[in-house]
């Protein structure tokens, strides 16, 4: 199973939270993940 963690972070807080989620995913056996950031949100 693959896990995609997609996030947008202006000040870095969501980035930190996404990294913690990725760390949790790594602790589960046989899990693979991909981290991704979105571009600027539409106005």
Mean pLDDT of the region 7-30 = 85
Residue 43 is predicted with a pLDDT of 31
Regarding predicted confidence, which is higher, 20 or 29?
20
Look at residue 11 and tell me whether its pLDDT is greater than 60.
Answer: yes
The full set of domain ranges for the chain reads 2-37
- Whole-angstrom CA distances from 39 to 10, 15, 25, 36, 43 are 10, 13, 24, 10, 12
Mean pLDDT of the region 22-35 = 71
Look at residue 17 and tell me whether its pLDDT is greater than 90.
Answer: yes
**pTM over cut 0.75:** no
């Amino acid at each position: 199973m693959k896990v995609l963690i997609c996030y947008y972070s202006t000040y870095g807080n969501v980035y930190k939270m996404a990294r913690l989620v990725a760390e949790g995913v790594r602790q589960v056996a046989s899990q693979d993940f991909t981290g991704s950031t979105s571009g600027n949100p539409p106005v």
